[in-house]
Amino acid sequence: MSVSRERSDGALAGLRVVDASTLFAGPLAAMHLGDMGADVVKVEHPRRPDPSRGHGAAKDGVNLWWKTLGRNKRAVTADLGSDGGRRVFLALAADADVVIENFRPGTLERWGLGYDELTTRNPGLVLARVSGFGQAGPYRTRPGFGTLAEAMSGFAAMTGEPDGPPTLPPFGLADGVASLATAFAIMVALRSRDATGQGQVVDVAIIEPILAMLGPQITRWDQLRTVQPRFGNRSVNNAPRNTYRTGDGQWVAVSTSAQSIAERVVRLVGRPDFIDQPWFADGARRARHADELDDAVGGWIAQRTRDEVVAAFEAAQAAVAPIYDAEDIVADPQFQALGTIHEIEDPELGPMKMQGPLFRLSGHDGVIAFPGRAHGADTDAVLGELGFGSEEIAALRAQGAV
């Protein structure tokens, strides 16, 4: 059964998005827009489904990552390198507000689907182009993935233990950050279109948004010719700041970014004498005495269970958080109060939980209308909406174009 295009359950209802991207920044950006009510059409090759359908864990042969990444997206197939697939894509673009793609620069142009062609019938179209290195420069045609952005942005160089190797995150961090930048850029371009009537091209290089998140490392290098070394879980800006093991074998994280919080922590752990030390007066100097502070805080925490530690910190109005896994997140009352975890009905696997939209609006909450759809599940319905007749759709199928 196909899914209807019409949605009136979000702030972006009426916005039409074509997601022709893969792995992972582009699809995540489209997911964010779909969560807020946009009608998103996911375009995949008819014989080579989106690779994310095969990423990560599966249940009964059904991929679980795709259920989240593909949510709120109607699934269509089209071979964009074929004449028939090109016709389908041009029709989709003519009916859309936004197209998101992440092919290597020049690929759409080679297929006759560049911005000039896409806007012939739709001058207000916003084309969001997501790539590893952007649309210009000597690296533009290199294969680009989030891992490379995490390496080149400086993230890996400053992450890890001081005597260990540069460390990569165990998930698509750079892609996730780039997805937020892409969604934001799309909304900026749409706001401009509201004023001018003209669409434009959005160029997101995955190496850039994560760079923006890493603080003033460029300015520091420019002005001081120094780079931030690796500190493990510690911080160069404050202490105590670390992860600590509790007496029942769990872990907590402590932060003291504010001076008042640092004072509350050392009072709580029985070392108020630290406060009178000259080096305790600001975060940077405290960080140079991290060994002493970690010994005091870690020793106190090690004598108590995680629940006891969290309760004591809360009573002292000091900053602590238990280090959670997915089971803890689902059970936590704060996430429950926020409605962070949504349960939806999946036609293949039944009731299914997943994290919900990124934020809440007082007028329109985001909605997960349906989880990721089967490959090509909505092709006939969407082409029918675009004016393709049943015989024409059958001919496109016979050609392998959809």
**How do the pLDDT tens digits run along the chain, 402 residues long?**
677 666 667 899 999 999 999 989 999 999 999 999 999 999 999 999 999 999 889 999 999 999 999 999 999 999 999 999 999 999 999 999 999 999 999 999 999 999 999 999 999 999 999 999 999 999 999 988 999 999 999 999 999 999 999 999 999 999 999 999 999 999 999 999 999 999 999 999 999 999 999 999 999 999 999 998 899 999 989 999 999 999 999 999 999 999 999 999 999 999 999 999 999 999 999 999 999 999 999 999 999 999 999 999 999 999 999 999 999 999 999 999 999 999 999 999 999 999 999 999 998 888 999 999 999 999 999 999 999 999 999 999 999 999
**Contact assessment for residue 246 and residue 277, using Cβ atoms and an 8 Å cutoff:** no
Third-level CATH fold of 16-213+337-399? Rossmann fold (3.40.50)
**Contact assessment for residue 356 and residue 367, using Cβ atoms and an 8 Å cutoff:** no
**Tokens standing for residue 273:** 């004498």
CA-angle at 67, arms to 102 and 90, nearest 5° = 40
Contacts 24+ apart (CB under 8 A), 153-159: 153/207, 153/210, 153/211, 153/214, 154/211, 154/214, 154/217, 154/227, 155/210, 155/214, 157/227, 157/230, 158/214, 158/217, 158/227, 158/228, 158/229, 158/230, 159/230
> Is the alpha carbon torsion for 327, 333, 337, 338 positive or negative?
negative
**Tokens standing for residue 16:** 């039409």
pLDDT given for residue 5 in this prediction: 66
Q: Please, is 304 exposed, middle or buried when counting C-beta atoms within 10 Å of its C-beta (0-12, 13-18, 19+)?
A: middle
Instruction: Give the span between the Cα atoms of 185 and 187, in whole angstroms.
Output: 5
Sequence letter at residue 174: A
The residues that are catalytic are 175
Given strand 126-131, what is the order of strands in its sheet? Answer: 73-77, 39-44, 16-20, 98-101, 126-131, 201-205
Q: Which of 261, 252, 286, 146 is nearest to 208 (CA)?
A: 146
Q: Which of 6, 52, 57 is nearest to 26 (CA)?
A: 52
Phi then psi for 197, rounded to 5 degrees? 85, -5
Buried b (16+ CB within 10 A) or exposed e, 75-88: bbbbbbebebbbbb
Query: What proportions of the chain, in percent to the nearest 5, are helix, strand and coil?
Result: 40, 15, 45
pLDDT given for residue 382 in this prediction: 96
Cα-trace Rg, the chain: 25
**Tokens standing for residue 181:** 């930048």
What CA dihedral angle connects 253, 254, 258 and 259, to 10 degrees? -170
123: CB partners within 8 A, 6+ apart: 197, 198, 199
pLDDT given for residue 9 in this prediction: 74
pLDDT given for residue 6 in this prediction: 64
Query: Which residues face 377 on adjacent strands?
Result: none
| Whether this model's pTM surpasses 0.85 | yes
**Residues of CATH 3.40.50.10540 domain(s) within the chain?**
16-213+337-399
**Please, how many CA atoms are within 13 Å of residue 185, restricted to the half-sphere of its CB?**
24
Give, as one character, the DSSP assignment of residue 126. E
* Strand extents, DSSP E, 199-324: 201-205, 242-245, 251-254, 320-322
Helix axes 173-196, 25-35, angle to 10 degrees: 60
Sequence letter at residue 326: A
Q: Is 235 left (phi over 0), alpha (psi -120 to 50) or beta?
A: beta
